[in-house]
Structure 1
């Protein structure tokens, strides 16, 4: 009996010792994370069987080499997919931080870059901020297999909102993926009041609807402006504000072999001339040659295409934008020469992407780079015409007063989420201009578009400002 009691006492002492050690480590982590940390490597784990974080100093040169190696690999991957060479700007980690500081001063925002790399054993996160926080984290509970499963659950849960606007099936995976990808970095983002995230991601994550991720209280889009980039050195991240911009708005409502888009006329007329000045090309005038002629002669800063766009599996030839006369494949889009003169923003308002497909992800994430434009705004999946008109109208209205493109999209998405813009019978409410929709696409009931299905698929690709 005495031996038994001694064993129990020893077990209690060991348990208390382990508990006190965990408390001490947790306290040290909390204290350390309350300030910006420079040149560090952090192991983040949700496993209850091991200490949550292991803190080690990292050599800055090693960190910079890691970023450079990853950027080179992804540059090679995109060049292999598109079968062309892309110009790049090789920057060290320190140079990236300096450039972010310049953008912060010029644009009045606080940007940061996050690289997210799924592997067989963990999710690797790397962060650079303007104040030279260089952070690496390894999320042990989020290997490639588990991450892929949760992403598929998220996409399925969002898709359920098309049939049931009250469905919350998306919420558990949205919360978990947020915990994996962003919660480990929150102390560093909060330390500098970061408000804009450039997300450079590996396979599985390139077509992730980031805006739908949730921290348990609110969506990430309620906290940050978000843009996805193929690689930092492949992205034109210079800040060049253009106060007087013109829009070329194009599209078609009827197609020979694709479903009709009856809301296109209202969408284009709302953009030009109700909200912006520019030119419209609708239906039979919506041809590739007319786009090239208008671009060369008009010098439009924004080109809006309201038509079917598909990012499919396989080579770039399988993905396309549908014009009234023919399809323009993704490998041919560079022939439009939208960089001569340079286009600031290309908008594809009715895209559909083969979510989770590696090739389709390359095409979607590399859209701005392949098109030769500074930024692109595209949707990961098609939503109905009414929802598209609502969000696009709010985006273009917001863009007049919020010149940062990612911020304008974020505000439009929040307005839809918070029901500040909605449809009452045939009228879009919450806009500065009057927008009436055909009864054939709205019905007689009032509608809101709070569910992520209607707004989370729209994303900025490339330069967010």
Structure 2
């Protein structure tokens, strides 16, 4: 097994691979097989074990078939111990192949069985391997929990090799958490144990990891000393994953020192090995490293081609991760998202903006899939130009030769063989040939004529075009937030008239780290969600974000024809309302723009479909709840919106169900024929697991994701707008990607709804009632959804809607008038007017 440690570069994601111990040898396996040659199951397990030890992708795939046969035979005679043993091997193989969910399934099946039969050795092995998976996926605390279960078991059974391996892996966790000295402490405990039991593979692993600590601490020469001890050991014992990891680390070290040719030598050896053993994750990340080097050497076009290849490998891996828990998919996506952003950056620098947009769309879909587990959006990755295909073939063939020769030269140098000088001269000739090929390919790629129509970017360009054409004066905005700066990709019409083409433009932003931007956005969100927060402090924070996110766009969006801004949200910005960004004098919503968010251009349904000419509302909600606080203003809110024979004062005709009348069954059965769905209730949108998210009825019934999905068969396709009013949507914590709103909105829109209006935090009940009444009045007057929201927000800010309006404009007067409270709330505070965002169709 291996561990991939991320380091960031200005171009592509540069990775220092930190290898952990391989799948631990299983106590007694070989001995029991030898002693029981007559057992068919043991013979099958022996065959699988032999294939497993070969380590190539082909042999591992063959081993899967063999171990599955062993499982079936074991089941047929109730040999649960052998069934568990075969499952344990299968878990290790699937993990090596990058099929993480399958690996976890097998491991989780057997750990309880080993515990039940008292097989502490194999229980410890399984716990260790589960910990390794969580560590690889970025869940370090969860990994530590499993390692700390495995460690005392290994100690109790006297397995010093297993104990040392787990100590190494605990060190790995602390390294990932940034606690380098603590990591070094555990590595230094592991190393003598591994040497004492002659676990050469484990020794190489820990030497490699100690090297990585010194590298991280800026002690490059010390790091190189340990890497150079680890490499020959990995080669001697045939630990291919370990060899590739150390080669990557050495390459990364030389890259940091500015010795890019030396770095490439090691990266290319690592790439050959990763491909040979079927390590797709290692292949993708090594490709990223190689692209980084080429970009640094100004071979930008070649760097783009290689980075595309890296992204496409990641896209293929994504298909294997959809059944993983959300937090695991999230941490994995975070670990690779910089590769997508870096590729987009490179394409932007070269003016290849439609391709950059396609990369960003893929990333948005990948982020959305974290939360929804929806894998129905197909991805063919990023297309290559004909010149790129040819270049990749041409460059990797000589690099494969050079990499293999570099390995031979390294082994010769270790043995001080007599023809070393001759081999060095031969190496120099090969390097000169490779450089000549690079220069020729750079010229070829620079001069290539790119036919966009033959790339698979067209679907994304057309999706953007539909949004832009829906309303004249629309600009589609992709923030590109990298580790060190912000950029923006804008799409808009180049000229007036229906036939004017769509054009893309790139805008450079400030040199702000993604961490700084994310923390500032989180600070603003916390202030916005608190009605008692100091307004001046809030505006100061908001102004920082305006400076970073809007001010760079002003030269492009200041033209009087630009009236509608549509943002494609990302991790740093999706949990704040752009309406509340402050320029020092006024909020963005007080300027002339309407503001809309889309999850991704390619997932936006029917952006040009106007509001129905005959609006018909289905409104459901509750004022009283079993086990939740009351929402007394929901009743006047709904009565003011829905016009019925008994209630002539409503704004739009329709049906309404309140309190005990509101149930999922009634919602489902009444939906058909209505084009507006208004839900005024409590909601819990879980930041970790959308399966635990729900909307609440008065009786306490939870309307979950599954029920929302079923609505597509009961009329949701005819719904133009879903309004989630008074919902406590919540947001994730400090490290969350804040996908809850995107996730729940996606399920309504994926089922057929054109748009969703949702709140970013728990909103004030009377303010919400007033907001909704005013919103519907503006819709009836002929405004688009985006215009209506903007007008209501401006009315709150400018004092046209105040606490005095809430009870008097309600059809039903509630017992407590907020104007009678000792201190009436100030509805001009962004807490009251900015939580509602429009996602999707803005007409």
What TM-score does the superposition give when structure 1 sets the normalisation length? 0.79
Give the Å deviation of 1:158: 2.1
Deviation at 1:441, TM superposition (A): 4.9
Does structure 2 retain, via aligned residues, the 8 Å contact 1:209–1:457? yes
Name the structure 1 match of 2:710: 335
Say if 1:313 and 1:400 are closer, same or farther in 2 by CA, change over 3 A. same
How far the C-alpha of 1:101 sits from its partner, in A, is 5.2
Give, in angstroms, the shift of residue 341 of structure 1: 3.8
Shift of 1:196: 1.3
1:301 aligns with 2:675: yes
In structure 1, the residue matched to 2:485 is: 122
User: Is 1:74 aligned to residue 450 of structure 2?
Assistant: no
Query: What's the counterpart of residue 8 of structure 1?
Result: none
Aligned to 1:370: 747
Q: Secondary structure at the match of 1:398?
A: helix
- Per-residue deviation, 1:96: 5.2
1:411 correspondence with 2:785: no
Deviation at 1:168, TM superposition (A): 2.2
Ranges in structure 1 where 5+ consecutive residues have no aligned partner:
1-55
- 2: CA distance between counterparts of 1:444 and 1:192? 44
Q: CA deviation digits over 1:408-428, x for unaligned, max 9?
A: 111111111111122328634
Q: Decide which structure has greater helix share.
A: 2
Matches within 5 A, 1:446-461: 448-461=826-839
Pick aligned residue for 1:170 from 534, 538, 552: 538
Any unmatched runs of 5+ in structure 2? 1-346, 379-455, 495-501, 644-649
- 2:706 and 2:508 map into 1 onto residues whose CA distance is 36
Q: For residue 271 of structure 1, what is the aligned residue in structure 2?
A: 641
Higher relative contact order (CA 8 A, sep 6+): 1
Name the SS of the counterpart of 1:423 in structure 2.
coil
Alignment: residue pair count: 397
Q: Which residue of 2 aligns with 1:395?
A: 775
CA distance in 2, matches of 1:69, 1:222: 33
Q: Which moved more, 1:365-374 or 1:215-224?
A: 365-374
Q: Secondary structure at the match of 1:150?
A: helix
Q: CA deviation at 1:187?
A: 1.2
Task: Note if contact 2:463-2:602 (Cα within 8 Å) is conserved in structure 1.
Answer: no
Larger radius of gyration: 2
CA change 1:163–1:76 in 2 (3 A) is closer
Bigger Cα displacement from structure 2, 445-454 vs 109-118: 445-454
Aligned with 1:351: secondary structure? Answer: coil
- Which of residues 520, 524, 538 in structure 2 aligns to 1:154? 524
Q: Secondary structure at the match of 2:609?
A: coil
Map of 2:627 onto structure 1: 257
Is the Cα contact below 8 Å between 2:477 and 2:491 reproduced in 1? yes
CA deviation profile, 1:274-298 (whole Å, cap 9, x unmatched): 21111110001110010011013xx
Contact 2:459–2:602 (8 Å) recurs in 1: no
Alignment of 1:183 with 2:551, yes or no, is: yes
Quickly say closer, same or farther: Cα 1:266–1:77, change in 2 above 3 A. Answer: same
Aligned to 1:84: 374
1:267-325, Cα deviation, whole Å (9 max, x unpaired): 110111221111110001110010011013xx111010000112222121122111234
**Distance in 2 separating the partners of 1:388 and 1:159:** 14
Cα shift readout 1:155-187 (whole Å, capped 9, x = no counterpart): 232234x236x6322101111101111111111
Match of residue 658, structure 2, among 263, 277, 282:
282
- Which of the pair is proportionally richer in strand? 1
Scaled by the length of structure 2, the TM-score of the pair is: 0.45
8 Å contact 2:728–2:763 — kept in the other structure?
no
Partner of 1:200: 568
Match of 1:361 in 2: 738
* Pairwise CA distance, 1:237: 4.1
Separation (CA, whole Å) in 1 of partners of 2:607 and 2:348: 32
Between the aligned partners of 2:638 and 2:709, the Cα distance in structure 1 is: 24
- Paired with 1:356 and 1:127, the residues of 2 have a C-alpha distance of 28
The match for 1:239 is: 608
Question: Residue 696 of structure 2 contacts residue 703 of structure 2 at CA under 8 Å; is this kept in 1?
Answer: yes
Greater CA drift, 331-340 or 285-294:
331-340
